Structure 1
Amino acid sequence: MTLKYIEKILRAKVYDVAEESPLDFALVLSERINNQVFLKREDLQPVFSFKLRGAYNKIASLTEQERSHGVIAASAGNHAQGVALSAKKLGIKSLIVMPKTTPEIKVNSVRARGAKVILFGDAFDDAYAHAKTLAKEKKMTFVHPYDDPEVIAGQGTVAMEILRQKTDAIEAIFVPVGGGGLIAGIAVYAKFVRPDIKIIGVEPDDSNCLQQALKACKRVTLKQVGLFADGVAVRQIGKEPFRLARSLVDEVMTVSTDEICAAIKDIFDDTRSVPEPAGALAIAGLKKYVEREKISDKALVAIESGANINFDRLRYVAERAQVGEHREILLAVKIPERPGSFLAFCKFLGKRSITEFNYRYFDDSSAQIFVGITSSGDINDKVDIIGQLEGQGFIVTDMTHNDLAKEHIRYMVGGHAPCELNEITYSLQFPERPGALLRFLTSLGSQWNISLFHYRNHGSAFGRVLIGVQIAAPQKIALQLCFEALGFRYTEETNNPAYQLFSGGQG
């Protein structure tokens, strides 16, 4: 059976429409993890994903009679675009069933490539069932995204290129896993030509259908899957991919959302390209593997499988990437409620940069702050910081891996104070550089009590702070003179309706 797949891969017609993608050396990441990291750039395909290979190979294999009836597929993304472009190239009509929840940008992209689109159901499973029904009614050929020998063979050409592009030693190839078509095709070819190369699958920890199937020794259906890496959000591994993976895949790893976001940043740093979450899975797994195995000076290949990311997700990715690479520590810290407490806390942290500082006055006894602190990237750095803070008498709760804190609470810290505070609020802007926040607090000293504080480093040239100060009206001018002496731009926000409605003190 393996020989039949090798023949199919060698005869695959993918290059009528797909391109041989480069195998790029990731210099920055390689130096950081002390291994040779290579990226197989499937994000550079005409539809920005490897899916084009399998879709075209399947459609090109159809008989003239099958072609005359057209092809149909169910997909919310990359497979849809691959089928649409392949059918257009071969002059075949195509119909794509997509969930009603599919982003408009993806629907328009499929239509632009010549396919007719039907929006049906709220989830992929609904669209899939409807597409299968339509395929029978219209006698169209259903092009499965992964559970088809021709599709698997088309994806296998990725491995053929890798082994042609890098003929010397390769320790492992890391492959993102959704339905399993890509890893099945790569494993078949790589293990036949170079059985010494490890084939390692990588899945999100909330969508690990292959890992669960291998553990159970049979295909299982996940009750639900995470949607962040939507390109691999599959509830059950394909039947044929699973049959191949059981004997050919060495290991399947899982990674967290934070680790995926960090991998997106790693790829951007090396290539200036932005992969989709599923496209960065392999790099996330590669990094985790290196950390676990303590290996060095090995050649490691990761499949950058796609770059169809929605622009509006980039802010979320940037937020989570810092935690994913152990460069941001999130803590809840209890400090005394008195003038100068913020300053004392920041002085204790020294030259460490503060990435976030959230606080709202509650009572006269103590203050609960939510703080983000930059880290060296050493996983032990957090332990040291927490130990030092607790040694100074601060009560510390680690929020770094608390999803509720990262997803919601960090943006909700604040609200109305429980009493009237005689508070004046200002928004300020100052040059963003190490120590800028400490310099700002030092300039205020301990003469005024800070009752509201929000700061977040957004990676821009200027830091922005919202600050509330308990102050008597005659001292207002002195406070403003302090701002001006520092050269900070400031605007009083006390009468801003956003502040009054959501943060102002309540009498």
Structure 2
Amino acid sequence: MLTLQDIQTAATRLQGQVLDTPCVESRTLSQITGAQVFLKFENLQFTASFKERGACNKLTQLTDAERTHGVIAMSAGNHAQGVAYHAQRLGLRAVIVMPSFTPGVKVERTRGFGAEVVLHGNTLEEASSHARALAEQQQLTFIHPYDDEAIAAGQGTIALEMLAEQPDLQALVVAVGGGGLLAGIATAARALKPGLDIVGVQAERFPAMVNAIQGTHYEQGISTIAEGIAVGKPGEITREAIARLVDDLVLVREGDIEQAVLMLLEIEKTLVEGAGAVGLAALLRHPQRFAGKKVGLVLSGGNIDPLLLADIIERGMVRSGRLARIKVSARDVPGVLARITATVAEAGANIEEVHHQRAFTLLAAQNVEIELVLQARGKEHVQQILERLRQAQMQAELI
């Protein structure tokens, strides 16, 4: 059973090998959520993820024989980079098995840390089975991403740092997939501060730990933007610790996660991946649960695909009204498009796209329908633009 002593010993091992990342208050997020929010910036680690802690703690405890043969891991993301980076630092051979669908940028980044990357399988399960087989064939030590006490102990050092820097915290809100991070943090935090409210957060589309602990039967989805916690089967070691030590597990929706990623980018100027933003998503989804409390959130990683980030930013702009699609109907006469664009400009908006439609419309033959994508200041500004167009004798509506 994982103990506080294990985590304190891990903290000693990790000194000088991983960052003691800052844990500071966000006044703006506190105002928005109604809780006093403190952020633990694990996205500032060298590989941009907390996974370094567990990997480093595990690797530094290998026997001489294990060090000689090397290690192997299966991961499509942060665990791969954490193992590869610290294996390189410690002079160990590292083989990383990644599913064949792993984005090329993650493959190259892992190779950049000196690891031998093997692409195998169309699922995580197939890749994991292949990694186990290679471990046996080549006498490599398998480094599990979460179901290992040494891994969980390394992750638990985050709680030691948070409570040392912010001893008055009343709640910790932590992402959970396989459970290594939450099990480690809960073990340390419960021992140091028994009355602390410890809450795990899962994506609604991957509720495996919630189902395992709470006995629910939520269906598993296919994908989530929080891919770092998209785990189909939770760990056995971690499940036991979480069931014993964690007060509550909550689910968040994809829209909540998107909003949290965007808020952290805009307000805190920090880049956080979906899995790293679920703590804030929980505060947005369940504000009454944390109202008035001093809450610590772990920003567990910052490795997000740039194209996904671009989509999240654009969708966030739509939700806030800063990007709007409107339809304008008018008589199809020379200069009508110029009048529409001039009216929009006078209202203070910028036009991003124009679609001029004559054929695919139910309007009378001499009318035209024009769709505009606008950059505006917000929802109220969009309504002002629509009103200006109507005053100019045109029909205008939000699509």
Question: What TM-score do the two structures reach when normalised by structure 2?
Answer: 0.84
Q: How far did 1:430 drift?
A: 8.1
Alpha-carbon displacement from aligned partner over 1:10-61 (angstroms, at most 9, x marks no partner):
1112234211010021121112233210001000000000000001111111
Measure, in 1, the Cα distance between the counterparts of 2:242 and 2:104. Answer: 35
Q: Which residue in 2 is equivalent to 1:480? A: none
Contact 2:261 2:271 (8 Å CA) reproduced? yes
| CA 1:299–1:100: 2 relative to 1, 3 Å | same
Q: Give 1:30-429 correspondences, 5 Å limit.
A: 30-168=30-168, 170-216=169-215, 224-290=221-287, 292-293=288-289, 295-296=291-292, 298-321=293-316, 327=320, 416-417=360-361, 421-422=365-366
More displaced 10-residue stretch of structure 1: 274-283 or 309-318: 309-318
| CA 1:77–1:8: 2 relative to 1, 3 Å | same
Measure, in 2, the Cα distance between the counterparts of 1:328 and 1:42. Answer: 32
Q: Which residue in 2 is equivalent to 1:7? A: 5
SS at match of 1:110: helix
Amino acid at match of 1:234: V
Contact 1:77 1:231 (8 Å CA) reproduced? yes
Contact 2:325 2:374 (8 Å CA) reproduced? no
Identity of paired residues, percent? 34
Q: Which residue in 1 is equivalent to 2:393? A: 445
Measure, in 2, the Cα distance between the counterparts of 1:428 and 1:224. Answer: 35
Contact 1:54 1:151 (8 Å CA) reproduced? yes
Contact 1:47 1:81 (8 Å CA) reproduced? yes
Measure, in 1, the Cα distance between the counterparts of 2:45 and 2:26. Answer: 19
Alpha-carbon displacement from aligned partner over 1:187-220 (angstroms, at most 9, x marks no partner):
0000011011111000111111111001229xx9
SS at match of 2:185: helix
Alpha-carbon displacement from aligned partner over 1:425-452 (angstroms, at most 9, x marks no partner):
7787988452562365146414xx78xx
Q: How far did 1:145 drift?
A: 0.3
Alpha-carbon displacement from aligned partner over 1:207-253 (angstroms, at most 9, x marks no partner):
11111001229xx9965543321111100110100010111010000
SS at match of 1:11: helix
Alpha-carbon displacement from aligned partner over 1:88-108 (angstroms, at most 9, x marks no partner):
011000000111111111001
SS at match of 1:201: strand
| CA 1:360–1:256: 2 relative to 1, 3 Å | farther
Q: Which residue in 2 is equivalent to 1:22? A: 22
Q: How far did 1:329 drift?
A: 12
Q: Give aligned pairs, total.
A: 377
Contact 1:178 1:232 (8 Å CA) reproduced? yes
- Flag structure 1 segments of 5+ consecutive residues without an equivalent: 340-350, 363-414, 456-507
| CA 1:429–1:38: 2 relative to 1, 3 Å | closer
Give the number of the structure whose alpha-carbon radius of gyration is greater.
1
Contact 1:222 1:236 (8 Å CA) reproduced? no
Cα root mean square deviation, aligned: 3.6
Q: How far did 1:421 drift?
A: 3.3
Contact 1:99 1:123 (8 Å CA) reproduced? yes
Alpha-carbon displacement from aligned partner over 1:331-381 (angstroms, at most 9, x marks no partner):
999xxx998xxxxxxxxxxx9x9999999989xxxxxxxxxxxxxxxxxxx
| CA 1:207–1:354: 2 relative to 1, 3 Å | farther
Contact 2:353 2:373 (8 Å CA) reproduced? no
